[in-house]
């Protein structure tokens, strides 16, 4: 087994440990991610089995309806405002963490760009990454 993924918010009020490997790592350029990140995209790691996730601290939450019609719950620190993770009503075993919330952000290795149709010319991402106009079916949220 590989090294555990650890991270949390900027003030350390929320912490997580994930003892599995991510199934998808992406940059997302949808408008929701742009608004939440304050820049041109959000960067994420998605894990399939929440039983391998240990969460500490109490997060504030905000529900958003995805393009699929399913609800995504964004969890963030009520003290410092840092976005930490997302969960999905339609996929209760899945959890997604923000790459910038990792203790070691270098472990983030993006595999694709999603919602490239919403990209901005000033938000340069690796042109070698596969780019999807929306969320690819296997990673749909």
Which carries the bigger pLDDT value, residue 32 or residue 111? Answer: 111
Please check the confidence at residue 133 and state whether its pLDDT lies above 80. yes
Q: Does 2 have pLDDT greater than 80? A: no
d(CA 88, CA 49): 12
Q: What is the CATH number of the domain that holds 83?
A: 2.170.150.70
Q: What is the pLDDT of residues 42-82, one digit of tens each?
A: 999 999 999 999 999 999 999 999 878 889 999 999 999 99
Spatial distance between the Cα atoms of 10 and 135, rounded to a whole number of angstroms: 28
The runs of H, that is alpha helices, within 1-141 are 31-37
In this structure, is residue 75 part of a structural domain? yes
Would 137 be classed as within a structural domain? Answer: no
For residue 57, being part of any structural domain is answered with yes
pLDDT at 110 over 90: yes
Structure tokens that stand for 38 in this block? 């304050």
Does residue 74 sit within a domain? Answer: yes
By percentage, how much of the chain surpasses pLDDT 90?
Answer: 84
Sign of CA dihedral 137, 138, 139, 141: positive
Nearest to 19 by CA among 41, 51, 44: 51
CA distances from 132 to 17, 31, 64 (A): 30, 15, 21
- What was the pLDDT predicted at 138? 60
Q: Is residue 133 part of a domain?
A: no
pLDDT interval class at 136 (50, 70, 90): confident
Provide the domain limits for residue 106: 5-119
Whether residue 132 lies inside any domain: the answer is no
What sign does the dihedral 79-10-74-96 (CA atoms) show?
A: negative
Q: What is the pTM of this model?
A: 0.91
When pLDDT is averaged across residues 75-98 and rounded to a whole number, the result is 96
Domain count, the chain: 1
| Cβ partners under 8 Å of residue 32, min gap 6 | 64
Please spell the DSSP secondary structure of 66-97, one letter per residue.
-TTS-EEEEEE-TTT--EEEEEETTEEEEEEE
């Amino acid at each position: 087994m590989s090294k555990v993924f650890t991270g949390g918010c900027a003030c350390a009020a929320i912490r997580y440990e994930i003892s599995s490997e991510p199934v998808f790592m992406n940059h997302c350029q949808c408008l929701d991610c742009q608004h939440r990140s304050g820049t041109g995209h959000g960067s994420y790691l998605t894990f399939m089995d929440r039983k391998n996730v240990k969460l500490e601290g109490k997060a504030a939450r905000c529900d958003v309806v995805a393009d699929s019609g399913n609800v995504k719950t964004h969890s963030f620190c009520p003290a410092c405002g840092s976005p930490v993770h997302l969960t999905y009503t339609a996929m209760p075993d899945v959890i997604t963490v923000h790459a910038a919330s990792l203790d070691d952000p270098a472990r983030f290795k993006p595999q694709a760009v999603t919602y490239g149709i919403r990209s901005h010319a000033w938000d340069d991402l690796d042109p070698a990454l596969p780019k999807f106009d929306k969320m690819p079916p296997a990673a749909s949220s």
